[in-house]
Amino acid sequence: MSGPGGPPGYPPYPGGQQPVAQPGCVRHPDRPTGLLCVRCDRPSCPECLREASVGFQCVDCVREGARSVRTPSTVAGASGAGSSVVVPALIVVNTALFLFTVLQGLSLQHNYRSALFQDWVLFPPAVVAGEWWRLVTAGFLHYGPVHLVFNMLALWFIGRDLEQVLGRARFTAVYVVSLLGGSAAAFVFGAVYSQVAGASGAVFGLMGGLAVVLRRLNRPPRPALTLIAVNVAISIVLPGISLLGHLGGLVVGAAATAVLVYAPRADRVRWQVVGIAALVAFVLLVMGARMALLS
């Protein structure tokens, strides 16, 4: 037995008082601790504490604080984090389809002889006959390797930065809508019996989108406008290029991007969805009117 001064063989406690028992950790009650969380003042063992800007906080307070921190976003509402995913995927798809048409058509330069190419190329009479998918699939076909390489390089250098600003889903929306806009312009205003293919309409849409983003960020849009002017001039000078498809993609892509980056912050996603849907509906309406005239 021990007396009031402490166990036998040990010096007495100061003042003859017994030591105060330490409280148990709030998450591990069986672990006595003298440490407290600086935020909630609850006892916490070393395993449950995390270093904060001032002192240490328990894991519960750290988790709660992380929820209250607003994640930074871009002008389009995207997180702006992570590497580009959509652009490499598009390049892989376009390249794979080109190689397939080369193997099927048994020609590198004349891959348009491929059966798949002829089934997917934009040909207005076929669209009027009900093969509406050509308006989309034509944007994934290319006439020869030079056509493919130029479009994929432009997609790579322009698309990566734009994907970071818009986010993957919004970037994909701009790309698809631009592709549709290019096809619509070629279908509505182009020669009836012409065949059009290529990702140029979508790429021009990204160029227009880049100019809009720079303007929205109050940065000089001159580099993007110069790039657009040079490519439009090339489209005029070189034969066999669909200027209408390029201009259609440019205008629709710029409009789609403007919808995304100028949408009000309050309920931004809803405004963006409605705006993109309205733009698609307008493009489809114009194409529908053209189909009615050609029928």
Same domain, 140 and 189: yes
- In this structure, the answer to whether residues 218 and 257 fall within a common structural domain is yes
> Along the 295 residues of the chain, how does pLDDT read in single tens digits?
444 554 555 455 555 555 567 888 888 888 888 888 888 888 888 888 888 877 788 888 888 776 655 567 888 988 866 789 999 999 999 999 999 999 999 999 999 999 999 999 999 999 999 999 999 999 999 999 999 999 999 999 999 999 999 999 999 999 999 999 999 999 999 999 999 999 999 999 999 999 999 999 999 988 889 999 999 998 898 888 899 999 999 999 999 999 999 999 889 999 999 999 999 999 999 999 988 888 7
224 and 98: one domain?
A: yes
For residue 168, tell me if it sits in a domain.
yes
Q: What is the pLDDT of residue 37?
A: 86
* DSSP secondary structure of the chain: --BTTBSTTSPPPGGGPPPPPPPBPSS-TTSB---B-TTT--B--GGGEEE-SSSEEEHHHHHHHHHHSPPP--TTS----S---HHHHHHHHHHHHHHHHHHHHT-SS-GGGSHHHHHHSB-HHHHHTT-TTHHHHGGG--SHHHHHHHHHHHHHHHHHHHHHHH-HHHHHHHHHHHHHHHHHHHHHHS-TT--B--SHHHHHHHHHHHHHHHHHTT---HHHHHHHHHHHHHHHHSTT--HHHHHHHHHHHHHHHHHHHSS-STTHHHHHHHHHHHHHHHHHHHHHHHHHHH-
pTM: 0.77
What is the pLDDT at residue 1? 44
How many Cα atoms sit within 13 Å of 3 on the Cβ side? Answer: 7
Catalytic residue at 110? no
Looking at the structure, do residues 207 and 254 belong to the same domain, yes or no?
Answer: yes
Distance CA 123, CA 119 (A): 9
Say if CB 237 and CB 250 are below 8 A apart.
no
The single residue of 2, 200, 235, 295 carrying the catalytic annotation is 200
pLDDT the model gives residue 19: 57
Residue 139 lies in a domain: yes
Looking up residue 268, the CATH number of its domain turns out to be 1.20.1540.10
Token pair belonging to 21: 């028992």
Q: Is 2 a catalytic residue?
A: no
192 shares a domain with 158: yes
Residues 253 and 125 occupy one common structural domain: yes
Residue with tokens 């944007």: 139
In this structure, the answer to whether residues 124 and 32 fall within a common structural domain is no
As for how many domains the chain has, the answer is 2
Q: What is the pLDDT of residue 27?
A: 87
CB 172 within 8 A of CB 217: no
